């Protein structure tokens, strides 16, 4: 039996598009289903100034397929030296939507990130005053802290103290992976929300490590134990407006993933809506998919939802999603949920 469902066209509130040939190859995969996306600034070199963001935005628009009306929502990469006035001007111009805080060393291309919150307080205070939100990669980088505990420790030692110090700052805790993150966000007030990735709703750390290491499931924050995945699924499918989709689709060419020191990142742009429909159907919550993918994000960012709709169709025969996409730099493996997908966007 064919099942059909129409929802408001979704947005991706956390996306890596890269640059050059990679940008050209991955952008259509997102623009096909999504109307807008928050574009991560962790290029090499990073997008740190308004001038950088304007130039990157132009490169994205130039790489769009003909006729696409996809809108990149630009971010700035916060460094210890970011100028509050530059952020304020870029936000007032509508050039940037938010600013991304990477703790230095937390993830891919984060070496120019923030070394100490105190150093960026003037910028954060300015952002709070002008209503510019902060996206945060919520992991500590302290070597003594176990990688599986880094998110929980960040909440206790960095995020909660910061939010008490500056409650007016609007924060998005990016790609939460733990029950601790879910509980913290659910109990916080209006100025905290969280994105959840597609893959963290589907894989736990066993999927990555049991029966041989699966480099294409390695990302940061790393997938946690099953109880955390279940907490994320519950949050995403609950209808709570504090949780919305940020795929964190992060392409790396296969040789850089299948390596003795593999890069972190899962590329899920190609089949994200199919994976989500599968998850929400499993949870008996297909009626909550539109909120998660299309409504809660714009509401939190103070934007209107998209006017356009998409139709999702479920067929008896599995959909043949590509195992990888070709880029000018090499193949990029598409996220494999480990089961057949029957949903597609038409």
Secondary-structure percent of the chain, ordered helix, strand, coil, rounded to 5: 40, 20, 45
- Regarding 204 and contact with ligand DOR (CB under 6 A), the answer is no
Q: For residues 139 and 290, which CB has a smaller minimum distance to ligand DOR in the complex?
A: 139
For residue 217, the 8-state DSSP code is G
Whole-angstrom Cα distance, residue 262 to residue 24?
A: 23
- Regarding 155 and contact with ligand DOR (CB under 6 A), the answer is no
Q: For residues 43 and 96, which CB has a smaller minimum distance to ligand DOR in the complex?
A: 43
To the nearest 10 degrees (0 to 180), the angle between helices 84-92 and 50-63 is 40
- For residue 299, the minimal CB distance to ligand DOR (Å) is 24
- Regarding 151 and contact with Zn ion (CB under 5 A), the answer is no
268 binds, among ligand DOR, Zn ion, none (CB under 5 to 8 A by kind): none
Please, what's the b/e burial string for 206-244 (b: 16 or more CB within 10 A of its CB; e: otherwise)? ebbeeeeeebbbbbbbbbbeeebbebbbbbbbbebebbb
- Regarding 3 and contact with ligand DOR (CB under 6 A), the answer is no
Q: For residues 107 and 272, which CB has a smaller minimum distance to ligand DOR in the complex?
A: 107
Per-position x/- string for 222-251, each x denoting binding to Zn ion as judged by CB under 5 A, each - no binding = --------------------------x---
Per-position x/- string for 36-55, each x denoting binding to ligand DOR as judged by CB under 6 A, each - no binding = ------x-------------
Q: How far is CA 41 from CA 112, 135, 145, 231, in A?
A: 11, 11, 26, 29
Whole-angstrom Cα distance, residue 104 to residue 101?
A: 9
Whole-angstrom Cα distance, residue 117 to residue 122?
A: 10
- Does residue 327 sit in helix, strand or coil? strand
- Regarding 277 and contact with ligand DOR (CB under 6 A), the answer is no
- Where is 134: in which H helix or E strand? strand 134-136
Whole-angstrom Cα distance, residue 218 to residue 200?
A: 11
The catalytic site residues sit at: 248
Q: For residues 151 and 248, which CB has a smaller minimum distance to Zn ion in the complex?
A: 248
Decide if 245 contacts 235 (C-beta within 8 A).
no
42 binds, among ligand DOR, Zn ion, none (CB under 5 to 8 A by kind): ligand DOR
**Binding to ligand DOR (CB under 6 A): which residues in 117-146?**
137
- Regarding 8 and contact with ligand DOR (CB under 6 A), the answer is no
- Does residue 100 sit in helix, strand or coil? strand
- For residue 14, the minimal CB distance to Zn ion (Å) is 6
- For residue 146, the minimal CB distance to ligand DOR (Å) is 18
- For residue 215, the minimal CB distance to ligand DOR (Å) is 12
- Regarding 219 and contact with ligand DOR (CB under 6 A), the answer is yes
Q: How many CB atoms lie within 10 A of CB 169?
A: 19
216 binds, among Zn ion, ligand DOR, none (CB under 5 to 8 A by kind): none
- Where is 273: in which H helix or E strand? helix 272-282
Whole-angstrom Cα distance, residue 1 to residue 4?
A: 10
Q: For residues 28 and 262, which CB has a smaller minimum distance to ligand DOR in the complex?
A: 262
Q: For residues 74 and 219, which CB has a smaller minimum distance to ligand DOR in the complex?
A: 219
Chain residues in the site for ligand DOR (CB under 6 A):
16, 42, 107-108, 137, 219-220, 248, 250, 264-265
Chain residues in the site for Zn ion (CB under 5 A):
248
């Amino acid at each position: 039996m064919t099942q059909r469902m129409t929802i408001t066209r979704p947005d991706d509130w956390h996306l890596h598009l890269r640059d050059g040939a990679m940008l050209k190859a991955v952008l259509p995969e997102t623009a096909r289903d999504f109307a807008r996306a928050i574009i991560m600034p962790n290029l090499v070199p990073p997008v740190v100034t308004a001038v950088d963001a304007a130039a990157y935005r132009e490169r994205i628009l130039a790489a769009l397929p003909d006729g696409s009306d996809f809108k990149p929502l630009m971010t700035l990469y916060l460094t210890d030296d970011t100028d509050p006035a530059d952020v304020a001007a870029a936000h007032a111009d509508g050039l940037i939507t938010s600013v991304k805080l990477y703790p230095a060393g937390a993830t891919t291309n984060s070496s120019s990130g923030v070394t100490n919150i105190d150093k960026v307080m003037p910028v954060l205070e300015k952002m709070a005053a002008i209503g510019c939100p902060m996206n945060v990669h919520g992991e500590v980088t302290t070597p003594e802290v176990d990688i599986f505990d880094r998110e929980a420790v960040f909440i206790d030692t960095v995020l909660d103290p910061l939010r008490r110090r500056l409650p007016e700052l609007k924060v998005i805790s990016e790609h939460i992976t733990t029950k601790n993150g879910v509980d913290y966000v659910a109990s916080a007030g209006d100025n905290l929300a969280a994105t959840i990735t597609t893959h963290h709703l589907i894989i736990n750390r066993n999927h990555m490590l049991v029966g041989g290491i699966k480099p294409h499931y390695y990302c940061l924050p790393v997938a946690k134990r099953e109880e955390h995945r279940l907490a994320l699924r519950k949050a995403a499918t609950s209808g709570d407006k504090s949780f919305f989709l940020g795929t964190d689709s992060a392409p790396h060419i296969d040789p850089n993933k299948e390596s003795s020191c593999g890069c972190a990142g899962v590329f899920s742009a190609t089949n994200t809506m199919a994976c989500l429909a599968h998850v929400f159907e499993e949870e008996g919550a297909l009626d909550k998919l539109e909120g998660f993918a299309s409504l809660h994000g714009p509401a939190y960012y103070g934007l209107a939802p998209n006017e356009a709709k998409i139709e999702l169709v479920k067929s008896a025969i599995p959909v043949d999603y590509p195992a990888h996409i070709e880029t000018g730099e090499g193949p990029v493996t598409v996220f494999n949920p480990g089961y057949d997908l029957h949903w597609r966007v038409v």
